[in-house]
Homo-oligomer: A and B are copies of this chain.
Amino acid sequence: MMTLATQMIRVLIFEDNEDFAESFRDMLDDAPDMELVGTFNNAKNALKQVQLFQPDIVLMDIDMPVVNGLEGLRQLREAGIEVGIVMQTVFDDNERVFQAICDGATGYILKKTPPEKILDFIREAINGGAPMTPTIARQVLKLFSLPFQHKKDLLTLTSREQDVLTLLVRGFSYKMISSELTISIETVRSHIKHIYEKLHVNSKSEAVAKALQNKIV
């Protein structure tokens, strides 16, 4: 009976925690300009579901079993889906923010954000904004304080770290690297830890992939 239904903001939610999901439902019920078009407890078929429900905004929890929100985000962006995707998590650690931003998240909010604020954030996102909590904003600024901070990271490897990375790409084990460079294996471990931090990865294979894909080596 209401023609304004056509102007309603369609929201799709990916959230495994039933309590949160429930509170989102209540929250959206109270918002006259929004409607919840679906809720899923993981991002397994995110692409399919987004294509089916055609939401205007997606609220994506990061911490979900099976397929987490970052994966879901990646899936959608890789498929060329341009819907607004607001990530949310209880943690505000650097790594996920970094990942989410790189993968094209529209916004990034913490779960402790009060409901009314979340509604505002959704409207912001719809209007072309990039909603995020102040904590997150600070981190993002740091990430983008310099143009191409991302690439910069890749290039700020010290020469010794580059040596190590080169050997990693050649498939050397820690032990082999230590003998190749005639340094202790502990030193190798130390360099590799630093490399991981700078490349934002946490395994040899990821480091190798990133090194090759970004032609660092």
Where the two chains meet, the residues of A that have a C-beta atom closer than 8 Å to any C-beta of B are 65-67, 168-171, 173, 179-180, 182, 201, 203-209, 212-213
Contacts and interface: CB of A to CB of B under 8 A. Distances in A.
B203 A203 contact: no
Contacts of A209: 169-171, 208, 212
Contacts of A179: 65-67
Count of chain copies: 2
A213 B169 CA distance: 10
Given A171-B209, A208-B209, A208-B212, 13 more contacts: A65-B179, A66-B182, A169-B209, A170-B209, A171-B201, A171-B203, A171-B205, A173-B203, A203-B204, A204-B204, A204-B205, A208-B208, A209-B212
A170 B212 CA distance: 12
Nearest to A201: B171
Contacts of A66: 179-180, 182
